[in-house]
Structure 1
């Protein structure tokens, strides 16, 4: 029998790796749920907060700002008194919805 040596190799993912970029964008605890909730319709902050449940207002604000900076969520401020702000998915955010649907299906079937 021949002796075989198995060499452990570490798989690295540089900053140009797509998975690394995705991990950075979706690292927030609530980001996937925010996108999933907004894919149904445009929502105001309070509506989104109630729909998500246990999220604090500060956490929701932070995660919405990050998703907006990453180009996935659009914030629209109406010039009204009192002020009205609505959130919706951008085209890029909407392009992610089919992947979210696949993840949802996989989760229901496998977890």
Structure 2
């Protein structure tokens, strides 16, 4: 698995891992997984360079797209789960705009953690 260094196809092993038995543990594990992928790419320099990640040998820009695709897949599953338990999934905001100039921009992790979407997720 991304952050764990073990067989991602062995669901029995994954579900029995002690660090994945609480909400906080799962959040920390997912955060670590994202950090591993981000560190593999590191910057927008040399996005055409090959890198090895988990079981893939691919270009860095391909790895970034794969991460986005994978996140979208899980967000879709999560949205269905929330609706089944009577919750409305938070909206997805892929482009952030500067409040002063209305110009698209990247945001820091700290800014992202303060968004209403994240506050709603933490409430669950």
Common fold by TM > 0.5: no
Which of structures 1 and 2 has the larger relative contact order (alpha carbons within 8 angstroms, sep 6+)? 1
State the TM-score, normalized to the length of structure 1: 0.30
- So what's the TM-score if we normalise by structure 2? 0.28
